[in-house]
Homo-oligomer: A and B are copies of this chain.
């Protein structure tokens, strides 16, 4: 490997406010550390549905915990100087965004698309589950919205997203955001982003 070869997979789910925080922060941190981010959109719903008594703590937890998590996000956004407007339809339906982001893969427009979807949801309270919202973001990025959305809805592509969820499970992923280093080391949560970047850097040093 060359000194710039360090990579880190960023597994994210558009419904998650903690993913919003990481999506807004990861590019600057990765650039400073010369780590290449591999964008890995996926869905948590199919993973949560396999454990009926362990729903998403942010979405279905006890009232005290749900209240706390919202306050936690508010404080973190203030610390990071990120805008926040809590989605009135929380949790938003992330399916279409995930399909399009998976289609983008590691293309040049993938990071900007990902950031824009999170911003629309958590800074502007727009319904990212609605095709016109995603289409508007695609247009802003110079993509053909009708063509992209049609391709994202083919049976083949839907199967790819299902396989992506299984790939997450195979890595031991159970929540989002998650970060996976080249050696398979897993980090969970926005709180572990810096540690994951440092791990990827140390991997490069060890290679």
Contacts and interface: CB of A to CB of B under 8 A. Distances in A.
Interface stretch (A33-41, A58-66, A100-108, A112-120): A58-66
Contacts of A192: 72
A192 B76 CA distance: 10
A26 interface: no
Given A53-B53, A72-B188, A188-B72, A172 B64 contact: yes
A49 interface: no
Say which size band chain A's interface belongs to: 20 to 34
A51 interface: yes
Given A79-B195, A191-B191, A61 B68 contact: no
Contact of A68 (B64, B71, B186, B191): B186
B75 A195 contact: yes
Contacts of A188: 68, 72
Interface in A145-165: none
A169 B169 CA distance: 35
Contacts of A191: 189, 191
Nearest to A192: B72
Contacts of A109: none
Nearest to A173: B64
